[in-house]
Structure 1
Amino acid sequence: MSVSINLSCPVCGNKDLKTRTSQKVGLLAAQTVAYCPSCFSIMNITGAIEKTKTAVWTERPEIHRINKPLKQVDPNQLDFISELEEPPQN
């Protein structure tokens, strides 16, 4: 996996720093040696993941029963549509 981080060179302000080497320091941290191709300075950069959020993915079958974007549908109408489609219970 590669991660792109946009940093400017603190010496000349060039926005195109390049990675020379990088290594994993821990589960959530990495160290990188970067250089500036403009002024040839070398920088040691340490990065760490501080916060992680995960998405909850749910299946949305009602998407096939409507004719406009889901964000524009009234949620109460979705309940009404599902009641019409269910067979009557004996």
Structure 2
Amino acid sequence: MTTVTVGIPAYNEADNIAYLLKDLLGQKQADFKLERIIVISDGSSDNTAEIAQKSGNKIIKVINGRIRKGVAMRLNQIISIA
């Protein structure tokens, strides 16, 4: 079975991140297995990372990047982790 890792670069997404993670985790996985979700907060000034961490799901890895580096840098970081 194919495994999938989803990477999410996030900047000030406190209002949305919990819903996004819930929806991702609720997807029907007939042809694949969701192995990991990587959330990188890109210097967010809200509590994006904390909310993602509170999801409590073991496949979610949260990294709180304290300095804003931009989406391209964070996507490269996600790829290197995955």
User: TM-score per shorter chain, which class?
Assistant: under 0.3
Query: Rg larger in 1 or in 2?
Result: 1
* TM-score normalised to structure 2 length: 0.24
* Structure showing the higher helix proportion among its residues: 2
* Structure showing the higher strand proportion among its residues: 2
* TM-score normalised to structure 1 length: 0.22
